[in-house]
Structure 1
């Protein structure tokens, strides 16, 4: 009975080998960045301090997210194109609903003509997953005293420091499930639960602001909108359930990454919203208000008697104030010179 199972497991050996080959360079990169930032933060907090390692993980997150900015911009553009194309997609569904092959071909043609890629919105998440897995494995290895990554292997003292460092009484390598409840509710449970809630809330808000602020009303209907609504609740639930198995360091990484995404998306939606969306209407209102304020602040000059300027905008109050007119210049007439015969005797 075990032979078919063993045979099926051996089928996956090449894939396991390929995965190990891919993940090893990521171990090297992740551990190298951690060690680099650890050396930068150590003079501030100390080499063995948990905040040194926590800030090293935050710095690692920032480096990764900065490197992913070009992909994020591409994701925003593709997601916006997908949203704006939904009315045309529904027209194709009405027209070719009886022929799924023709519908698929016409839909892909529509996406290609408008430079929209349905998979582009998943690229940043897919690229982060190997890094996330590498960090998880590095921290999990530290909890087991297994050095994963070149830099932790050649610096075993850093491995011991990472394994034993604590913040708020919880080790960075601890997980919610690993500690157990033999000693009741501990600081590890409280910290991991707090990070899991923060991670889940930031992910939910990020997706919610995209759907509520930067989607036209037409895009909130149809199959694509239903998929977005499902992802709105499923993704945070998946991370909330899986978070109990993540080390504290991984939770710090994922919360920081979600917080970065939320702020980055808020900035993009506010400064460059998609047409026909509530965010675009708010942007138009802000622009018009700014234009009106600038118009009021500009100097307005009126002309009084004799072409004299009598009004000027008040820069401080923003209202027009009439400047007092200059008094007319009085020129005294000199008496005309008289002849001697005209003078009185």
Structure 2
């Protein structure tokens, strides 16, 4: 190291001597020398500036790669290298100034020693850690200059300003620590050089930003948008316990340890099993296929069911790790109720391009208002509950020039199971001593609870009627304070007249109700078709996720059938609810006959959805297996 120091010190010493001859002051000479090195190396600094800007330019595309292959570190690394090569970006270029500074520092140590050799009267050859005293101010000054540089670079350097706060302070902390050490263990003259170098770097960065302005080349709007999208994905699933993380990791590994998976179901949370239930029961009773069931709910009831049914293999995979799992999906068929496949973070498998993706609806009749445009475009097969959905799918394909999906006229298991339960207990429900009115609104803004509950109750509380208010669980979760106000407001009304339901573990209040009052909740049609009883629909502001729905179907069934299964009221006429409910109760038998006809007309294959859906799955899987055998795979 001593030889290298002396060798580098020769040319730098010559330059430092020239500076001294010009100013006749060792400290000022070192400062002038430092400024000259910045000028000489300015072309290198310009190259680094361009490279830094290029890195920031590429960041939105890099973030999109992280979104596309979220969690797949190997693929992200491979795609990143492809991007760097395409754009001629050199990721190590940002380290060049550090190496140049290191080389210069070694040379400066030799140059200062050489210039000051024999100059016993100067303190610049003293080392603070050896002499102590006032000399120990040097490390503090060097650390302060490094801190000042770091703060300036956080705002001025095009690459450093885009780093996260933690990364910025890690970079700055390292620089400050190095400066403190150098200031303490090298000659004071070298410390002066280091301080000047840091301060001149701030000025140099200002000049660079003037010569090559970052705003001219960087799309900061696109950068921020990509950052927000990545942050949104990174926050999926919220906080989890250590046990849940370990469990997820083990289930992820177990899922991919099984080869030749044929069938996978994915459930967003525990309650979604009811949409798959009839199909899964058919598969269990009519085949030997193994059902791999992925859920993002660690408390999903499927784990209890799987303990009794060995052919169901459950896995807990959180929303973030699900992104990677879905990209690497290695099954013949994936059945889901999740919309927007490919449109957001959940993608089709890039491992199995031939995997068939099947969508199952979790609401009857119409979807065109509630699902975004393109929400089902990337599914291969749709299990439809009724002809309204088929019409909407085919019209969308025609208008938007989409390839035709395979449609299975399946039916709706949820209503089938509700109907079965109701018939098994029909006598009890029809022979109740009092008439029961169930108010079951949606949780969207301006729902019944927030807009007209008082008017409905004031007009409907009477002898012989019991009114049950059953909020949507999501309403209680999101707007707990509002719900608590209602509980307090009506606490003195006896339960024989009014119940505000807080326990949602049972659906008995749904089955036992003689009339349902709702707004836009999906329970309305499920209740009507399962019990053949009418619905009073309050036309609160409608939540429309697809503003373009009228291009496909001007009047979706969920609008036109509201008056067929009962009566509609505007919120400002809610004080007429009691009178309307009385009329509906008087015509209960008429509604029963009419709703039965509507059920037969608009729902497919009542009582057979599990058989039809399950038979299709088995047939499709068999074709895929046979096709692989024929091709020798």
**TM bucket by the smaller chain?**
0.5 to 0.7
2:32 aligned with 1:86: no
CA deviations on 1:146-184 (whole Å, 9 max, x unpaired) are: xx5xxx5xxxxx6222x422xxxxx1112221113xxxx
Q: Secondary structure at the match of 1:109?
A: helix
For 2:135 and 2:92, locate their aligned partners in 1 and report how far apart those are by CA, in whole Å.
Answer: 37
Tell me which protein shows more strand as a share of its residues.
Answer: 2
CA deviations on 1:10-50 (whole Å, 9 max, x unpaired) are: xxxxxxxxx666544312112211222222223xxxxxxxx
For 2:92 and 2:47, locate their aligned partners in 1 and report how far apart those are by CA, in whole Å.
Answer: 11
For 2:214 and 2:103, locate their aligned partners in 1 and report how far apart those are by CA, in whole Å.
Answer: 31
Residue 273 of structure 1 corresponds to which residue in structure 2? Answer: 214
* From 12, 17, 27, the counterpart of 2:9: 27
For 2:93 and 2:183, locate their aligned partners in 1 and report how far apart those are by CA, in whole Å.
Answer: 26
2:118 aligned with 1:160: yes
Contact 1:75 1:120 in 2 (8 A): yes
For 2:80 and 2:142, locate their aligned partners in 1 and report how far apart those are by CA, in whole Å.
Answer: 39
TM-align CA RMSD: 2.9
* From 170, 177, 185, the counterpart of 1:237: 177
> Which residues of 2 match residues 67-86 of structure 1 at below 5 A?
67-86=40-59
* From 128, 136, 145, the counterpart of 2:101: 128
Quote the offset at 1:220 in angstroms: 4.5
For 2:159 and 2:108, locate their aligned partners in 1 and report how far apart those are by CA, in whole Å.
Answer: 34
Quote the offset at 1:132 in angstroms: 0.3
Structure 1 unaligned spans of 5+: 1-18, 43-51, 143-147, 153-157, 166-170, 181-185, 279-345
Q: Secondary structure at the match of 1:164?
A: coil
2:166 aligned with 1:189: no
> Which residues of 2 match residues 201-216 of structure 1 at below 5 A?
201-210=147-156, 214=158
Q: Secondary structure at the match of 2:117?
A: helix
For 1:175 and 1:122, locate their aligned partners in 2 and report how far apart those are by CA, in whole Å.
Answer: 28
Residue 95 of structure 1 corresponds to which residue in structure 2? Answer: 68
Contact 1:215 1:277 in 2 (8 A): no
CA distance 1:195–1:93, change in 2 (3 Å): same
2:189 aligned with 1:249: yes
For 2:160 and 2:183, locate their aligned partners in 1 and report how far apart those are by CA, in whole Å.
Answer: 33
For 2:101 and 2:163, locate their aligned partners in 1 and report how far apart those are by CA, in whole Å.
Answer: 28
Residue 127 of structure 2 corresponds to which residue in structure 1? Answer: 175
CA deviations on 1:58-97 (whole Å, 9 max, x unpaired) are: 1221221111111111111111111221221122233345
Structure 2 unaligned spans of 5+: 222-633
CA deviations on 1:184-232 (whole Å, 9 max, x unpaired) are: xx33234x15532442233222322236xx4699x456xxx75444213
Contact 2:154 2:168 in 1 (8 A): no
For 1:22 and 1:197, locate their aligned partners in 2 and report how far apart those are by CA, in whole Å.
Answer: 26
Residue 202 of structure 2 corresponds to which residue in structure 1? Answer: 262
For 1:74 and 1:197, locate their aligned partners in 2 and report how far apart those are by CA, in whole Å.
Answer: 27
Look at both structures and tell me which one has the larger radius of gyration over its CA atoms. Answer: 2
State the structure with bigger RCO (CA 8 A, min sep 6), 1 or 2.
Answer: 1
Quote the offset at 1:120 in angstroms: 1.1
Quote the offset at 1:113 in angstroms: 2.2
CA distance 1:68–1:199, change in 2 (3 Å): same
For 1:22 and 1:99, locate their aligned partners in 2 and report how far apart those are by CA, in whole Å.
Answer: 45
Contact 1:72 1:124 in 2 (8 A): yes
For 1:189 and 1:104, locate their aligned partners in 2 and report how far apart those are by CA, in whole Å.
Answer: 46
Contact 2:124 2:188 in 1 (8 A): yes
Quote the offset at 1:237 in angstroms: 2.9
Residues matched between the structures, number? 218
2:39 aligned with 1:66: yes
TM-score by length of structure 1 reads: 0.55
Contact 1:82 1:116 in 2 (8 A): yes
Contact 1:31 1:138 in 2 (8 A): yes
Quote the offset at 1:277 in angstroms: 4.8
Quote the offset at 1:101 in angstroms: 4.0
